[in-house]
Structure 1
């Protein structure tokens, strides 16, 4: 069996409290066992997700698995009360940010305790879009110190905003970025300046949210579909219908096209997908084993979506 075109990791945000249907412990155990059997060894979480609930639950799922066999990350800077109800994952009432050194050190210590481990392979500064200076002065130096101590293996930024990554890279040395939703069939803002800088500096890019929160997997008309965590508007839905028609003309599903588009850029070293049913994960991995025809990118270019490797 051919391997996927790029390695795949899983994000465990849905193990916290979200505005989506909750995942029971039994379901989570089944999903994790299936992911492990399918060869997934990259897992991501954050204290934001459920105010630590995701970290706790992921820690239980990882118990008994060989620590050297998987890559684990969490984040610092964005926080939420434990098990708080969520109406808006992007900016929920009661959420707070703290990118100071002391808060960062406390957060890592707490995350390690919840996850049941003594080290993180990656620690990301989380969504410091309006707090660049604070992250540069507080969180990142603190993480660099933890890296020198071996508590953290690599440091980086996780954000939905390409400009945030760029701003940090202009003033700091990062190992890896988690770029969420900014190189997809609907949004290519990471391609212009960010990805070339990552290639020139040898910075890994983990591309999260290749479906832009779901709409590029479900299509425009599924009743529960989301675009960037919210219900999509009329224009986005119309845009997705046109993309889906162009994909269908080449015999390619929208989901397969979305995965391959995000994976195709050479700056992208890994895709990070959301936790899902075993059948859904197996379907995604199967999609990533089958390269779409080149004519697909030409069809999409006519809709104003540049080929994923255009200009490289």
Structure 2
């Protein structure tokens, strides 16, 4: 209760910068801000994240000063976590309710505490000072730095490191994956450039011409995100009840990436996997029919370039594998029926 109350007070006293999207619109707003910057000509970018951000924060009078006019006693007893302390010179974690952070200088905001996110936004805001020819898009401790020229981004990155290392609330270590030309080369034959932000893969596509570029950004999940989503193919045993829950989430996951070029096919593949797993668990006729239908949809969506077996996960035992073969056989029969009806259908416009 105290954490929630104080978090609201801190947010009112110290609202995040507009470029900090954790609270101002969340992930969709962060991705939209990157798209807007690219369209405005900020075509060089680098993703920067803070290594162990929460555990790098020190308790000090500077932290209390940063959060004024919030009383220092509230900062000490509510904001600061006295349950988990970490020695900044060691990887050892010590747990104690008796540690006095003001005496030992240990570090660490609790990641799950209600106040930590907004306090983190305030600390990260110290890095995001105005910088010439640069736009920042921040989400928690991740920042996307965009510039019109690569040199401007490189200069800004060095500037950010200098500020981070000198923060009174605790030095921060920044990590980046290098500067990317976000739009790549122009021309019909050019391969669109790809970049990552918050485990999303961005790809800039140019629908215009040299005189009037019309850039748009498509977003898709990176491999880590796909691994999180692909519960049907991670080797775990999934019950019918769990399958139903996952199916309800699939459409939500798909909506998270409305511009994902392969999103519809990914959704169909996933639903086919889940339908197959349901039939593996329960060989009811309806389950078999639904699994067969889902596989047929994938087959046509892939322009008939893949075999039915490629859409079906392996079974966990001999029984499940037999049912897998039954789906494949049923799909071949249904495909033959579809092709026979298509070949015998009258051509449009003929008697």
| Fold in common (TM above 0.5) | no
Using structure 2 for the length normalisation, give the TM-score: 0.25
Greater percentage in helix? 2
